[in-house]
Amino acid sequence: MWRAGVLGATGYTGAVLLSVLCGHPDINIALITSNTHRGKKISEVFPQFRGRLETPLQATDDDHRGTCDVYFLCLPHGVSATQAKALFDGQALIIDLAADLRFEDVALYERAYMAHPAKELLPHAVYGLPELYREKLKGARLVGNPGCYPTSAILALFPLLKHGLAERNVFVDSKSGVSGAGRDAKVGNLFCEVAEGFRPYSIGVHRHEPEIQKELAKVADVKVTFVPHLLPMNRGILTTAYGSLTQYVPTAELLHLYREAYRDAPFVRILDEGAYPDTRFVRYSNYCDIGLKTFEDGRFILVCAIDNLVKGASGQAVQNMNIALGLEETRGLMLLPQYP
């Protein structure tokens, strides 16, 4: 059994991560922390754990070195890197669910976020998108878990760009449930602010745009225009990416290319021609559903659906853990989507 710790466990990603780890046959949850709720049992904060997980919450700011084999950092940007620096010894696996280990280029991170408090860690970190970096993740000890929007956008676009089939300008239109904004009390996330409405936000300044851009630029000369939207639902992301093809490829042919690209990716499901993803059919799961269509005039449309809290965050973190520790990639993650 591997000892796992979840630091900052009382946000949405922490709660989902604990739920997944509770069902993982190779994991013992040895540490759960929260500065806000320290001293309480996790089941007092999240009643769904009653009778299953009654662990008291320790203070996140305490010294937890040597306590665990795997640390999951569900902490704010900046705070996460500081904790990673304190815990990093080359032995324990550290998976950061914030943005602090996602960028190889510290200047790019600092333009999007803040001054980096532990930039010396970046050369040791692997970007944790398993479908692209599975080999690099094997044996890794520092992993930057991708953002939720980037996960959906990169997985949707990567095969097309890798084969040189897209013109330079690519447009990414994403919609997310409210849980993507976190659990902190914010006026914009109140029920009356969200219900019965649908709006874009952070146009041109969203922090996930440079993350999407820098990953896709590794395989193609591409300029990404990213527009996120807030949907009045709890969870899920639907991303539509579109642009122009460099040459016409029939839909059936492109679907075959995508199936080949993801044939070893257990959580990516390529839909049949004429079928398109729906967030209802990936909820509570680590699956990523992709559908697509091309047009004879050279346009393409790609559609991707994920659960932002599972494949977009906590499930992907466990997937990264499995690969880094040499476990079966799907271990503890074969969660069927829940419908209705």
Return the CATH number at 244: 3.30.360.10
The pTM for the full model equals: 0.97
Query: Do 217 and 289 belong to one domain?
Result: yes
* pLDDT tens track for 3-24: 999 999 999 999 999 999 999 9
pLDDT at site 188: 84
pLDDT at site 90: 95
Query: Do 79 and 194 belong to one domain?
Result: no
Rounded Cα–Cα distance for residues 178 and 192 (Å): 12
Query: Do 106 and 173 belong to one domain?
Result: no
Query: Of 109, 124, 139, which one is at a domain's C-terminal end?
Result: 124
166-190: average pLDDT: 92
- 313-to-96, 99, 124, 257, 258 alpha-carbon distances in Å: 10, 11, 21, 27, 23
Task: Please check whether residue 114 lies inside any domain of the structure.
Answer: yes
The pair phi, psi for residue 27, each rounded to 5°, is -120, 135
185, pLDDT greater than 80: no
Query: Do 164 and 100 belong to one domain?
Result: no
Structural domains of the chain, count: 2
* pLDDT tens track for 129-174: 999 999 999 999 999 999 999 999 999 999 999 999 999 999 999 9
Can you give the CATH number for the domain in which 114 is found? 3.40.50.720
| Residues with catalytic function | 148
Query: Do 41 and 114 belong to one domain?
Result: yes
**What integer best gives the mean pLDDT of the chain?**
97
Query: Do 119 and 224 belong to one domain?
Result: no
Listing from the earlier edge strand, what are the strands of the sheet with 268-270?
199-200, 223-230, 166-176, 237-245, 299-306, 288-294, 268-270
Rounded Cα–Cα distance for residues 225 and 244 (Å): 14
CB-count burial class (<10 Å; 0-12, 13-18, 19+) for 257: middle
Enclosing domain of residue 107: 2-124
* pLDDT tens track for 244-298: 999 999 999 999 999 999 999 999 999 999 999 999 999 999 999 999 999 999 9
Site of tokens 């890794």: 140
